[in-house]
Amino acid sequence: MKDKGQNTLPADVYLSFVSSLYGNRQTLFVGMISHVITFSFVYAKTADPFFLACSALVVLVWSLRAMGMRRFDRVDTASLDMDGIRYWENWYNAGAVGTTLVLGSACGYSLLFSRDSFAELASISVTLATMVSVVGRNYGSRRAVDYITLSACIPMVLGFLGLGDFYHAVLAVLILPFILTTRMMANGVRAFLYENVLAARKIATIADRFDTALNNMPHGLFMLDADHRILVANRRACELLHLGSQERLKDCHLDVVLRFGVRNTFFNADQSKAILRQLDELLKGERSRALVQVTDGLYLEFTASTRENGGAVLIFEDVTARVRAENKILHMVRYDSLTGLPNRTYFADLVQDSLAERKKPGTVGFMVLDVDDFKHVNDMKGHVTGDRLLCAIAERVRRLAGEKVLAAHLMGDEFILFFPNENNRRDLETRMRRVHEQLRGAYAVDGMTLQVSFSAGGVTVPSADFRLEEMQIRADLALFETKSRAKGGFTLFEQEMDARYVDRQKLKDDLRKALTENALSVAYQPMFVPDGSRIECCEALSRWTHPERGPVAPNVFIQIAEEIGIVSDITRFMIMRACADCATWPAHMSVSVNLSVQDLRGTGIIDLVAEALEASGLEPHRLHLEVTESCLMEEPVKVQAILQELRARGITIAIDDFGTGYSSLSYLDQLPLDLIKIDRSFVRNIGEDARRFKLLRGTVNLSRELGLRIVIEGVETQEQLALINKYECADLVQGYVFAAPMSLGALRDLYESLGGTPGDSRRRGRRVA
């Protein structure tokens, strides 16, 4: 190493070198005794008081140096800066130079003045002996080595040269290599120690950092030898496994450590064996990681990497939060968030597992449950109450299902159940019906008691033939059959239902094709003034004549259109055709078109109406749009906004089938209505049932107070018409008493035949088939 000088050394290295000068003080005392004895013998031999004075000076210098060293011991060396360290180096150098200067002076004096061979030999010997100690004791200070060497040797060189003898001059010259060698040796020792101090400091820093990192890492760590004994364990490992201090684990076998956990009730014996088996597979490389459930609230995941010497590094971490999150995600994936029942996907897995566990074949059952009129609960009580009702139903389903029957929440208000392990089809059907019966009844929700019934469809098959997708289709067909007959019942699938389903699917395809090919037609049913003298409006009614089946009832194909999502296409066809036809009628006649729920789910109906009016040139007020109360139930605010926009454009808005919904009267005030069409149920038997007629009149009076015009539907007899006219219950009358739905041509003939005197009695009450 190139000597950098004390000023360029790092402070801690510089301090360590200076501190070395103040160490091993016994050598100073031994040296002082040797010097005193030597000079005493020289004084005894020569009787020269100079040597006695040298002894006294040596003692004095040693005493001063001893006092200084005791002062150094009391100094807080950690607080010393470079100047402070340099002060104590200089103080030491002053004492050392004082000693060697006395020795060198004794050598020069003995050579030049004493001329006693013993004095010369003794002085030179003790001085050179002291010089040898420079390498071993004073290497810590380059200046100390230089000062001590020069102060000891220069007086000696001057003494040899002062003798004026060639041979002594040679000795004087030879002392110079001794000085250089001594200096080089001391510098070499200092350089070597300097490198080692830096290396040790670097190693200590690295070790400290490694120890800090090791003990602050979030993972537990065991470094194992080839025999699986623990060489290194960090703090986190001890914390995770509750193993106490790290030092206790060194050289312990991993098996012993885990068994120690067993004794401390951390693991039970079975857990310990299972964990050791997993870790052994991990250490052998048979698995990449091992997840260990230590307790209900702690999961550890282990990984291992092998070392060249056959050992391994075992790293483990607390993955409890991750496992809980994964379990939560898995639960969310498998279970319905509202009811807590399995969802359809997980239900399918459970069914497959149940079938796989069967030891012998038998009959299994599948049932679909649909809550009757659940939409009414949402509309009347709110969706929060509806959700709580579903939770209450799910709880009862779970209780009735028990451990054997599998239950799941399919969607919305539908539940599904799987009945395994039944050998008798009749017993299985009885059990399914019993569950259905026990589910219906009263449910307490939000302080209310709600009476709930279920429409159900079921299917039973041999366990070997069970296919979930196929069974669900069959159960849905049975459910559809239940709803078609009467809600609240249970229907078991029969093979003819499948044929009806196929037939209905074909009818759906045929309806799509008919709509694409414009195969639908329009019939018009007139609305007369009460005396029958004039037609003011006609309701446009869609008709479909199937090429093979003949005429298909509107309630059938409209329902199918709603199921397959093409009812808005039918609405478009009807509005475009009705506006075009109405534009050819007398100016006082209007046309009325029915809108479906799907038509009012977006603002597209507004653009469609505008397009139809522009294409036909029809005045907006001659177009009537009829909405039923069912259209208003789903999103009343949105529907109200759409109707207001249509009415603002001059369109006449009517509410159809008034009185068949749940909250009819509230709509009369909230919605932008012009007409109210009172349902035929209000007219039936009004001649015999006075209460029904009073209800009709009350509804009419209320509507007129709100400024609405009245259309009464379903008037079929002269007696009904007479009562309506007597009490002036209607502005317009629609029904078979005047005319049934008819073609466009028949309608033209009819209004042309009415072109005479409006009050002609011969035309009143005339029925047109």
Dihedral sign for Cα atoms in the order 234, 236, 241, 247: positive
Name the maximum alpha-carbon separation found in the chain: 179
Which whole number is the average pLDDT over 269-297?
74
Local confidence band at 4 (pLDDT 50, 70, 90 cut-offs): very low
Q: Tokens in use for 668?
A: 């009369």
Q: What is the pLDDT of residue 766?
A: 40
Local confidence band at 765 (pLDDT 50, 70, 90 cut-offs): very low
Average pLDDT along the chain: 83
Of 661 and 654, more confident:
654
Q: What is the 3-state secondary structure (H, E, C) of 43-59?
A: HHHHCCHHHHHHHHHHH
Local confidence band at 664 (pLDDT 50, 70, 90 cut-offs): low
Q: Same fold for the domain at 217-325 and the one at 337-493? A: no
Q: Is residue 452 within 8 Å of 393, Cβ to Cβ?
A: yes
Q: What is the pLDDT of residue 634?
A: 65
- Please give the order of strands across the beta sheet that includes 298-306: 230-233, 220-224, 312-318, 298-306, 290-295
Q: What is the pLDDT of residue 265?
A: 47
Q: What is the pLDDT of residue 758?
A: 37
Q: What is the pLDDT of residue 7?
A: 55
Q: Residue 654 and residue 672: Cα distance in Å, rounded?
A: 9
Other beta carbons within 10 Å of 708: 19
Give the range among 35-49, 298-312, 339-353, 738-752 with minimum mean pLDDT.
Answer: 298-312
Q: What is the pLDDT of residue 57?
A: 92
Q: SS3 of 422, please?
A: strand
Where in the chain are the domains?
Answer: 6-203, 217-325, 337-493, 517-755
User: Parallel, antiparallel, or unpaired: how do β-strands 490-492 and 520-528 relate?
Assistant: unpaired
Local confidence band at 423 (pLDDT 50, 70, 90 cut-offs): low
Dihedral sign for Cα atoms in the order 13, 17, 18, 22: positive
Q: Residue 3 and residue 183: Cα distance in Å, rounded?
A: 12
CATH architecture observed for domain 337-493? 2-Layer Sandwich (3.30)
Residue 478, phi-psi category: left (phi > 0), alpha (psi -120 to 50), beta (remainder): alpha
Q: What is the pLDDT of residue 763?
A: 40
Q: What letters, b where the CB count within 10 A reaches 16 and e where it falls short, cover 321-338? A: eebeeeeeeeeeeebbee
The string of pLDDT tens digits covering residues 608-625 is 999 999 999 999 999 999
Which whole number is the average pLDDT over 395-424?
86
The string of pLDDT tens digits covering residues 339-380 is 889 988 888 888 888 888 877 788 899 999 999 888 888 877
Closest by CA to 436, choosing from 453, 420, 414, is: 453
CA 630 centroid distance within chain: 40
Return the H-helix or E-strand segment holding 719: helix 718-726
Task: Report whether pLDDT(420) > 80.
Answer: yes
Identify the CATH assignment for 217-325 out of 3.30.420.130, 3.40.50.360, 3.30.365.10, 3.30.450.20. Answer: 3.30.450.20
Q: Is residue 72 within 8 Å of 22, Cβ to Cβ?
A: yes
Residue type, 657: D
Which whole number is the average pLDDT over 265-269?
57
Which whole number is the average pLDDT over 532-557?
92
Task: Report whether pLDDT(262) > 60.
Answer: no
Of 316 and 659, more confident:
316
Q: SS3 of 140, please?
A: coil
Q: Which of 167-181, 200-214, 256-270 has the highest mean pLDDT?
A: 167-181
Local confidence band at 494 (pLDDT 50, 70, 90 cut-offs): confident
Q: Residue 765 and residue 769: Cα distance in Å, rounded?
A: 13
Q: Is residue 203 within 8 Å of 22, Cβ to Cβ?
A: no
The string of pLDDT tens digits covering residues 87-129 is 888 888 888 888 888 888 988 888 888 878 888 898 888 888 8
Q: Is residue 182 within 8 Å of 134, Cβ to Cβ?
A: yes
Other beta carbons within 10 Å of 565: 9
**Long-range contacts of residues 480-489, Cβ cutoff 8 Å, at least 24 apart:** 481/457, 482/455, 482/456, 482/457, 483/370, 483/455, 487/372, 487/373, 487/453, 487/455, 488/372, 488/440, 488/453, 488/454, 488/455, 489/455, 489/456
Task: Report whether pLDDT(182) > 60.
Answer: yes
365 DSSP β-pair partners? 419, 460
Q: What is the pLDDT of residue 267?
A: 58
Length of the chain: 769
The string of pLDDT tens digits covering residues 574-592 is 999 999 999 999 999 999 9
525 DSSP β-pair partners? 539
Q: Residue 521 and residue 252: Cα distance in Å, rounded?
A: 93
Q: What is the pLDDT of residue 759?
A: 38
Q: Which alpha helices (H) appear in 533-623, and where do they start and end?
A: 554-564, 567-582, 604-616
Which whole number is the average pLDDT over 718-747?
92
In percent, the amount of the chain with pLDDT more than 70 equals 91
pTM of the model: 0.50
- CATH number, span 517-755: 3.20.20.450
Q: What is the pLDDT of residue 167?
A: 85
